[in-house]
Structures are given as structure tokens and as C-alpha cells.
Structure 1
Amino acid sequence: MTASSIDRRHLVRTAAGVAVGGVLVAGSGVAAASADEHAGLIGSWWLEHSDDAPAPPSPGIAIVSMAPGGVIVANDIRPAGVVRNGSWSGDADHFRAILWAPLAPPTGGADPGSTRVQIQGRLSGGVMVGTAAITGYSPDGTQIFSGTGTFRGTRLRA
């Protein structure tokens, strides 16, 4: 297993979480979601995600939170990972998001590089599903890997 394959899996896991968390409900959907915290995509989601072939599936779980105004935050919890932040847009049923995070937790003050996760998804019957494209960059901005994955999420209720 290479460092790039480990990083790629981490990115795909993050991407899935980000996708769910980055949804912005546009137009009247935003007003409805703001009025009812359980409406649309706004809120927190339990997201299960995995890599697409040729990578091993490497399933994971993330918590993704989507807020009015287009803010999305995703955190891999199984296995544990970095927190990703970004923005999302869409309507009551479909969305897209972009998230950024360090490639790995910084050690000794060294820049580990970064990851970008681009997500597309939809909400159907209370279940969020979609795809993610993950790209890893070295500290100088050179692309070092890319991959794709899928996710499925359910609303996280208090």
C-alpha cells in the first residue's frame, strides 16, 4: 500500500461526507429549510462512502453538516480523518459541493498538501446519495492523485 493509495482513500471518504454536508437549498427551498430544520438537505447526515474501482472499496463513515448560506463541514469518523470545509449549492432535491482540507494532519509544522473534493448528489425518499471526485495536491500545488467514490447518507437525528 503506497502513501498515495492511503491518501486517495482518505480523500474519497472525505468527499462523501463533504457531498452530503455541502448542500444548499435554493429559492423557496431555502426558506422552507430555514423554517423547518428537518426539511430538505439542511442539517447533519450519517454518511457511508466507498472508493470506486480500481481502488479497493475502503468503506468509511463521515458526519456531514449542511447549513443555510451554503456552508458545509465534513468529518470522517471511521476511520478518523481531518475536518473538511467548503460550500454547497442546489435545490431541494439535487446539490453539488466543494470541500478542501489538509491532505493529512500537519506534523512538526510541515505542510502536508491539500485535498479537494467535488460532490454531486440528490435527496430521494429521505436518503442522500451521490458521487465524489477527489484530487490530492502536494504542498507546491502539483496534483499527486485523483479518484472517485460514492456515498449514501441518512439524516442524523438528536
Structure 2
Amino acid sequence: MAIRRTAKMGNPVLRGRSEEVPVDLIKSPDVQSLVRDLVETMREYQGVGLAAPQVHESLRIFVAEIPQEAELKIVINPLISPLSEDTISTWEGCLSIPRIRGLVRRSSSVKVSGFDQNGNPLQFEAKNFLSAVVQHEADHLDGILFIDRMDDLQNLCFVEEYVRYHHKS
């Protein structure tokens, strides 16, 4: 396992559509190593999600974990479908856009399907913050950053100003 260097905004790997992982290769040493590295890197940098393009791998894989709220999710070749028209607005950050936060509106509940790290079909519902996290990570697989989803760029700020003016304890 290794902590990987993260791609920063401006790197072309963050703006392309990632390739699907052939199901018969999910259990390969390379894919398994990448999955372990994604989890370790996400945890090291105290993120709640990380997608393969963020570690310079253009593959359709992401991981998500919200401590004390949602167990580790490893999703390969995800499909995300909204479960309702309800939306939530959350202040998002990104390891590829360090020290920045932005207010983003997303579906409040989604169905996530794909494959787990063993190549088994996977399906779960994500609500509220977890819903926002999986949508954020899935966007990375299509070359979309959270700033592209913002309704109003006036709601873009440095993390220090977010803490001072917008963070609710």
C-alpha cells in the first residue's frame, strides 16, 4: 500500500472521462493495489472520498468513507441515479482543489450501482451528505470538478474564510 500524490486542478487527468475497468480485471494485482492506495491516501489526507483520476489513474473507481456515519464504500464502474427531485446544498472541498470550499446543490438521495473490490455486483442508496460525496466522486470519473457544479461562484471561498463565516459547529 502507498499514499499517492494527488493531481491538482489544471492537470488534464482531472478533465477526461475515465475508462471502465473490465470486470475480469477487478481482482488483478494492479486494480487491487490501486483500491488499497485510494483508501490509504483518502484516510491520510482526511478526505471523505477519492477517485482514481485524483491519483493519476484514469479508471472508473472511487472510494468514500464518512467516519462515524458511513462505512467504507469501494465502487468500481459506478452508475448513479437520483431517487427523487429533492436537493441538498453542501459546502464541498476536494483534495485536487486544496484549501477551497464551494456551495454545491446535488440530489439528496441517489442509487449507486457498480462492482465492489471483489468484482461482485454492488448496489446501495446514499442519502444527504453521503449522497453528495458519491456524486462528487462519480463526477471526477467524468472530468467534472465541484466548481463546475456551483450555481454561484460567489459561494467559493478559502477554507479559512469558510470556517470563519459559513461553518456551523
Q: Which has the higher contact order (CA 8 A, sep 6+)?
A: 1
The answer to which structure has the higher helix fraction is: 2
Category of TM-score, reference length = shorter chain: under 0.3
Normalising by structure 2, what TM-score? Answer: 0.26
